[in-house]
Structure 1
Amino acid sequence: MRLTLTTFLTLDGVVQGPGSPDEDRTDGFDLGGWVPPHFDEAVGERITGIFEQADAFLLGRRTYDIFAAWWPNVTDPADPVGGRLNNLPKYVATGRDDELTWSGSERLDGDLVKAVTALKEQPGRELQVHGSGRLAQSLMREGLIDAYHLMIFPVVLGRGRRLFADGLPPTGLRLADSRASGSGVTMLTYENAGAAAFGSVEG
């Protein structure tokens, strides 16, 4: 399976607290809820299309807890997002030892790189990471992400946890898809192109 990351981020790269003011107040963050004012039909259709490619999910613990509090209540198996989240395997990267109660959930044990590499070797289309910022950064450091589905919202926050933080390895990307919504959300898909290339503008 290809490992893909789907995430909402602001124009200045913040991924913290997209869904609501109280979603993630870590480090005193008080600017949560920047997605809903710009979430329109085109964004929803793009997300549906991404979920249709999923054969399994890989989630960080915070995102897992947020999803597990909501999506099991969506009981329509035809729901394009809930139907897949509720019925496909969900692998959770967590250091906590409490029970994962959402049906189909499995804790990733041992070395993260080895565990994720083993999952990628299984047959299927996409092993999808949604949100899960800290997990995503760990996967980026190891070069494990094959493609990025980035939903860039037209807002600048100036503070908050960023996806592409300092210390990540230089990586080249290839634009595979680009579209925009009427509300100004830019939806980009980049594929991993290996090492970043460098040059000079001098003649």
Structure 2
Amino acid sequence: MAKVTITTFLTLDGVMQSPGAPEEDPGGGFDLGGWLAPYADEDMARHIAGWFDRADAFLLGRHTYEIFAAYWPHVSDDEDPVIAKRLNGLPKYVASTTLDRLSWNNSTLLSGDVVDAVRKLREQPGRELQIHGSGALARSLMAHDLIDEYRLLTYPVILGKGTRLFTEGAVPTALHLTSSATTRSGIALHTYELRGRPTFGSM
């Protein structure tokens, strides 16, 4: 059975919106995009490349798909033999209620019940079905315990506004920390496995 993983960039206050550039996702009047850039370093790139190397397929929301599809098809395997090679060559499953066609090769539109479609993909043999960004898709899958591993890169910045990965009303969930690291620029990288429902007590 394949494992569903998510890799996402977060601020200290949990914002995931528009990390890469100001124009990436200005939805809702968000004007603080590009907050990741000052902290990007070789350590971050090495970890991300290592995770991409484990992918057998990708699960993407509409907005993340459009950002990726505008850039990665123009990057050759020689220029980026890990990320570009995998994103351009491996299957991509896209959750969208507004798109009716996908131009990026090896892309399949998940129509109908996306949760059920992902559940069926997860049951197939393989290594990893990787989610990158794609907050709305991730939240819908988290609500059904369909994300097996979380790779959270937390940056030393607070924004005070923007779309968050973990929102009010999220299903209470227990995770187990399996690895952690810190880059030279101060990014904290934590990997968690799903453990089910949390338990509670008194101190």
Bucket of the pairwise TM-score, normalised by the shorter protein:
over 0.9
Shift in Å, 1:185: 0.1
Give the partner amino acid of 1:200.
S
CA contact (8 A) 2:101 2:109 kept: no
Q: 2:151 aligns with which of 149, 152, 157?
A: 149
Cα separation, 2, equivalents of 1:152 and 1:17: 14
TM-score by length of 2: 0.97
Q: 1:193 aligns with which of 175, 179, 195?
A: 195
Aligned to 1:135: 137
User: How far 1:135 moved relative to its partner?
Assistant: 0.8
Q: Secondary structure at the match of 1:127?
A: strand
Aligned ranges 1:158-173 → 2 under 5 Å? 158-173=160-175
SS in 2 for 1:57: strand
Matched, 1:103 2:105: yes
Please state how far the C-alpha of 1:109 moved relative to its aligned partner: 1.6
In percent, how many aligned pairs have the same letter?
56
2:48 corresponds in structure 1 to: 47
- Partner deviation per Cα, 1:1-38 (whole Å, 9 max, x = no partner): 00001000101000001010111111110000001100
2:158 aligned with 1:119: no
- TM-score, normalised via structure 1 length: 0.97
The number of residue pairs the alignment matches comes to 201
- 1:132-153 CA-to-partner distances (Å, cap 9, x unmatched) read 0111111111111000000101
Q: Which residue of 1 aligns with 2:66?
A: 65
- Partners of 2:154 and 2:188 within 8 A in 1: yes
Partner of 1:75: 76
Counterpart residue type for residue 96 of structure 1: T
Q: Distance between the aligned counterparts of 1:72 and 1:50, measured in 2?
A: 20
Q: Name the SS for the 2:104 alignment partner.
A: coil
Which ranges in structure 2 are unaligned for 5 or more consecutive residues? Answer: none
Unaligned runs of 5+ in 1: none
Alpha-carbon distance in structure 2 between the residues aligned to 1:178 and 1:172: 17
Q: Which residue of 1 aligns with 2:93?
A: 91
- Distance in 2 between residues matched to 1:72 and 1:153, nearest whole Å: 28
The residue matched to 1:14 in structure 2 has which SS? coil
C-alpha displacement of 1:97: 3.7
Tell me which amino acid in the other structure corresponds to 2:149: A
Distance 1:97 1:34, change over 3 A: closer
Classify the secondary structure of the residue corresponding to 1:143.
coil
- Moved beyond 2 Å, runs of 4+: none
Q: Which residue of 2 aligns with 1:12?
A: 13
Provide the rounded CA distance (Å) in 2 between the counterparts of 1:134 and 1:89: 20
Amino acid at match of 1:197: T
Question: How far apart in 2 are the matches of 1:67 and 1:100?
Answer: 12
Superposed CA RMSD in Å reads 0.9
* Partner amino acid, structure 1, of 2:113: D
